[in-house]
Copies of this chain bind each other. A is one copy, B any other.
Amino acid sequence: MKYKVGLAIAGAFGLWLANSGTAFAQEEISTAELAVAMDTFFLLIAACLVFFMQAGFAMLTAGLTRSKNTANILFKNLMDFVMCSIAFWAVGWGLAYGTSAGGFIGTDQFFLGNVTAEGEVPILASWFFQVVFAGTAATIVAGAMAERTKFVAYLTYSFILSLFIYPVVVHWVWSGYGWLNGGDGTWGFTDFAGSTVVHSVGGWAALMGAIILGPRLGRFSSDGKPKTISGHSMALAMLGAFILWLGWFGFNPGSELAIGSQGSADAVALIAVNTNLAAAAGAVGALVTAWLRYGKPDLPQTINGVLAGLVAITAGCAYVTPVFAVLIGFIGGPLVVLAAEMLEKLKIDDPVGAVPVHLVVGIWGTLAVGLFAAYEGNTGTTGLFFGGGATLLIAQIVGILAIGLWTAGLAGAMFFAIKATIGLRVSKEEEEAGLDIGEHGAVAYPDLSPSRPYMPGASAD
């Protein structure tokens, strides 16, 4: 009551009391300040949801691999976010969002020094939102390199990715000064929440890592025939997938970066709906594809279909209508199933399907923006089928190629360097016994007896 009267008086007198001091503190807060506070709140909550994706990736990856490597893969999933938090605080954020050197790289704000933003969302809130994105890119690689990578090599790699490789890509696209998307009204590569910037970057690194490592012992028999190596817990995998789906409601809607500013609440609602529909459609797409090809509805394939739907809609979630979210997500389903087959033919061993999900579908989702964008991003252009011509589609292709070359090149060099120095892969004996014993001198489930002897390529099939 007292507040209403106070504001009425303040309104009549032109709100001249607005800056008169703390006695009037609550009455004087402006709607613009409230909008900023609400945006900050929104960004922090979205960041919490994205942070929780770390648990999702950990459970998914552990569930889809064998129990003799469970402690190791969980440990890696924990440590990549730990290393990322330190690296992105010290250097990564500055390279991504510091003052631009030619649209290529940021040059200040290291260790979060000198970061103030008057009347805007605090830089620290933005950092928190960005660090969990960086952590996502880093953690994607763990799955593709699971069950054979040295722990120390993994620590090194995830630190470098978060420190340098990923932040530079962010600068190119999201800094507002990048050469791929230089801000309002410019022609440019458009990736709303990171189908390419996050997922394909993780996916490219995952692909290079999987190739350079080579397949797990027993994954391909001596005559080249592939053998399925089943993951040890569908319960963990399913839990992980649900957590990831949940986290994506922070990942995509949060990338609007605002909800109190005008129009942003509508945008956030559209993004949330598109995200959910694409996930569901991706599940249907993968379920049907795998069912037709293999004769049974397959849970791990359908889980990857959910993730494919989510990755696919990430680039365009703010720009397409729900009908096209369903289409884009659905196509992700068959893509992820077929890409996994292709990898297997190429004798590339990706235990959890990280490359199909994050790289292949990440590319698809990024291209889809160029095809189906009905609403303009900051470039003022719609997609090919929505009256925008080929401009946006070409920008998407340029961005995909540039970021792919950068990431695959640097990640490849990094993995070769690691291989040549500290070593990338554990010994044959250690791989057979399990990395839990070899790397950590412990097992994940000491109370439970294994049903299969720990031998190369043993599987439940």
Contact = CB atoms under 8 A, between A and B. Distances in A.
Contacts of A83: 280
Given A37-B264, A85-B276, 6 more contacts: A12-B16, A31-B31, A41-B260, A44-B272, A85-B280, A125-B269
Given A32-B26, A41-B42, A15 B11 contact: yes
Among A10, A44, A47, the most chain B Cβ lie within 10 Å of the Cβ of A44
Interface string A157-183: 000000000000000000000000000
Interface string A24-41: 011111111111111011
A36 to B, nearest CB: 7
- The prevalent SS among residues of A at the interface is helix
B11 A75 contact: no
Interface in A1-56: 1-16, 18-19, 25-38, 40-42, 44-45, 47-49, 51-52, 54-55
B238 A44 contact: no
Nearest to A53: B242
A11 B19 CA distance: 13
Nearest to A27: B32
A55 B242 contact: yes
Contacts of A243: 55
Interface residues of A, number: 140
B29 A19 contact: no
A141 interface: no
Given A78-B241, A118-B1, A449-B450, A442 B299 contact: yes
A292 to B, nearest CB: 14
B447 A66 contact: yes
Contact of A40 (B265, B296, B442): B265
Interface in A251-292: 253, 259-262, 264-266, 268-270, 272-273, 276-277, 279-281, 283-284, 287
Interface of A: 1-16, 18-19, 25-38, 40-42, 44-45, 47-49, 51-52, 54-55, 58-59, 62, 66-68, 70-71, 74-75, 77-79, 81-83, 85-86, 89, 111-112, 118-119, 121-122, 124-125, 127-128, 131, 151, 230-236, 238-239, 241-243, 245-246, 249-250, 253, 259-262, 264-266, 268-270, 272-273, 276-277, 279-281, 283-284, 287, 295-299, 302-303, 306, 322-323, 326, 439-452, 459-461
A82 B280 contact: yes
Contact of A59 (B36, B111, B121, B239): B239
Contacts of A31: 7, 27, 29-31, 34
Say how many copies of this protein the assembly contains.
3
A52 B124 CA distance: 25
B260 A38 contact: yes
Contacts of A35: 26, 29, 34, 37
Contacts of A34: 31, 34-35, 38, 260
Contacts of A44: 249, 253, 268-269, 272
Given A5-B19, A54-B242, A233 B445 contact: yes
Contacts of A10: 11, 15
A306 B451 contact: no
Contacts of A68: 447
